[in-house]
A and B are shown apart, each in its own frame.
Chain A
């Protein structure tokens, strides 16, 4: 996260983030599995990576382009896995603001996510609904 990045609640519907490349680094996947206490996925072998790890890493890449407003809350999540993902894969997250409304003092922001592999094939798609309290503009 950078202090120069705009706050997510300042971005309009239709805003497209720059494609964010990232890699499912072995060390990061290990740290993720430890953080979520996932003892099941490693038993499958083959270095498979849980889809929510990929989502978390894509969001981490996004946070270089937009700050999550303080007090923002995750209200909904959709995701679709298109194929198995494994450690070491090079991926690109393409994200956009698919909806942004303000109701009763809250921003409702839907962020669409398409994650592609190095061949440009979709491997994971989804959408997150994030809400954040409306703030007084400086």
Chain B
């Protein structure tokens, strides 16, 4: 459900918390068609620098998109901009939290710092979002 919050610098975006597991990663792989073995083959993934299976970046980023949808509704979906870096992967067993904070309200534009962190507080995704408001 959408939450109401104050449109002012410093206001926190609604937090979206999700648990990552192999079943969810496999489900996303199936729906997205991204069957990269790094996501679905533990044996292959164990031989990569990641040392094991990691979640798709776009899966983790979808949680951030939902936080923006909770905050801004159609304004995000119809005119938002998002720019992020994937800093570290989400892994099976992780609990990730997506959210952020409003950094500026400039005329009809809201700017936010956005991020996704894991249960250890490590930043997995960070970036900026801009949402036009009317």
Residue in contact with B79 in the complex, picked from A35, A60, A82, CB distance below 8 Å: A82
Given the complex, which residues of B lie within 8 Å of A28, measured CB to CB? 31
Of the listed stretches A11-19, A49-57, A87-95, A96-104, chain B binds A49-57
A81 in contact with B79 given A50-B62, A68-B34 (CB within 8 Å): yes
Residue B133 interfacial (CB < 8 Å): no
Known contacts A1-B35, A68-B36, A44 near B69 by CB under 8 Å: yes
How far apart sit A43 and B31, CA to CA, in the bound complex (Å)?
22
Number of interface residues of A (CB under 8 A): 42
A79 to B80, CA, bound (A): 8
Complex CA gap A74/B61 in Å reads 11
Contacts of A71-122 to chain B: CB distance below 8 A: 71-85
Q: State in angstroms the CA–CA spacing of A85 and B30 once bound together.
A: 22
A–B pairs, 11, beta carbons within 8 Å: A35-B30, A40-B66, A41-B66, A48-B74, A50-B65, A55-B58, A60-B33, A72-B38, A77-B83, A81-B77, A84-B77
